[in-house]
Amino acid sequence: MKIRRRFRWLIKRLLSKNPDLARAYYHHRLHRESRRYKEPPLLIYQMGKVGSKTIRSSLREVNLDRPVFHVHFLTPDRVERTEKERQKYLGTEKMGLLRHVWQYQYLRKRMESGFDGEKKWKIITLTREPVGRNIATFFENLRVELSGDRYIIQSDYYGFEGIFTIGDMDKLVQLFFERLYHDRPLVYFDEELKTVFGIDVFASEFPVTKGYKIYQGEQADALLIRLESLNDCARDAFEEFLHIKDFTLINENIGSEKVYAPLYKEMKDAIILPEAYLDRMYTSKYARHFYSEEEIARFRAKWHTSGN
């Protein structure tokens, strides 16, 4: 047993020092795991803060004979650029962020090999009204600790750190406007789903009342669901797309349950969104495609009032 533990320690140490070897080893693990399944992969493939972790947790309770991967982006340039940015995490407590990118590389290799003659992959993706999504995303990329009535905030993603308290939102709001990439939801489906899989979700009308739509592609089929409709349509959508009977949602990663929840609520109450910003979000092709005029009017009214 001592020899075995010593050997494992040596392997772990070696992998923590050699990124090429660590990447190859991780890809080997993913390939070996995927071979256990008869069906091709299912990708939960979407922008951040649109309910994807709820979908992932819910699917874990279903006996799917296919590997499930959770990915945010698959365009080659962004995958390679992000791996370079995260090389510094090798052998650290943030190693998981680097493995996420290696997972994306593994999937790209399978895709670039012609999908290995597989049946079509399955994709699940989601939308969310852009302003609420952007504020939630801003907080998701913060590391927050509570010390008394002070929130100690640090973010490698945005490149800042500081101490904030309830009632002192000006600096945090300024950072939101300055550091977040606000157009992500507006361009996501064209930059990712269309570029990577050739699926153009804007090429045909989206059934707003129904809340979901299935798109057929050459290499993959995609189920797109509005987060705002998820509770009402999930059962029908997953039965139609994956033939799952009585699909049940298991909520996860809820912002209102996190340590920063009071700060998050305070910022939503205090933030003043310029008309130009609301116009940019709600007159976009994205918003007008997935949401009705009445819904957009309600979203705009929400962000014009306090107590959001």
**132-150 tens-digit pLDDT:** 999 999 999 999 998 888 9
Query: pLDDT-derived band of residue 4, with 50, 70 and 90 as boundaries?
Result: low
Provide the 10 A C-beta neighbour count for residue 280.
16
Mean pLDDT of 56-82: 94
| CA distance to 84, 101, 209, 282, per residue, from 25 (Å) | 18, 14, 46, 45
pLDDT for residue 306: 44
On the question of pLDDT at 7 being above 50, the answer is no
Give all strands of the β-sheet with 220-226 in edge-to-edge order. 68-71, 42-45, 121-127, 220-226, 212-216
Distance CA 305, CA 36 (A): 52
Q: Could you tell me which residue, 184 or 166, shows the higher pLDDT?
A: 184
Strand spans (E) along 182-278: 212-216, 220-226
pTM score, whole prediction: 0.91
With a cut of 90, say whether residue 125 has pLDDT above it: yes
Task: Flag the least confident range among 5-14, 62-71, 166-175.
Answer: 5-14
Q: What is the pLDDT of residue 48?
A: 92
Residues 6+ apart with CB under 8 A from 89: 95, 97, 98
Which tokens sit at 189? Answer: 């489906």
Q: Smallest Cα–Cα separation from 75: which of 224, 189, 154, 159? A: 189
* 245-263 confidence digits (pLDDT tens): 999 999 875 656 678 888 8
The C-alpha atoms of residue 25 and residue 11 are separated, in whole angstroms, by: 10
> DSSP label at 38?
S
Task: Round the average pLDDT of the chain to a whole number and report it.
Answer: 90
Q: Which residues contact 303 (CB under 8 A, 6 or more apart)?
A: 131, 271, 273, 278
Which pLDDT score, from 0 to 100, does residue 91 have?
Answer: 86
Task: Please report which helix (H) or strand (E) contains residue 151, including its range.
Answer: strand 150-155
Give the pLDDT confidence score for residue 308 in this predicted structure. Answer: 46
Q: What residues contact residue 238 under an 8 Å CB cut-off, 6+ apart? A: 223, 244, 247
State which amino acid sits at residue 222: A
Give residue for tokens 């606000």.
Answer: 182
Name the strand (E) or helix (H) holding 290: helix 285-290
Q: What is the average pLDDT across 198-210? A: 98
Beta bridge partners of 147: 150
Instruction: Give the amino acid at 288.
Output: R
**SS3 at position 23:** helix
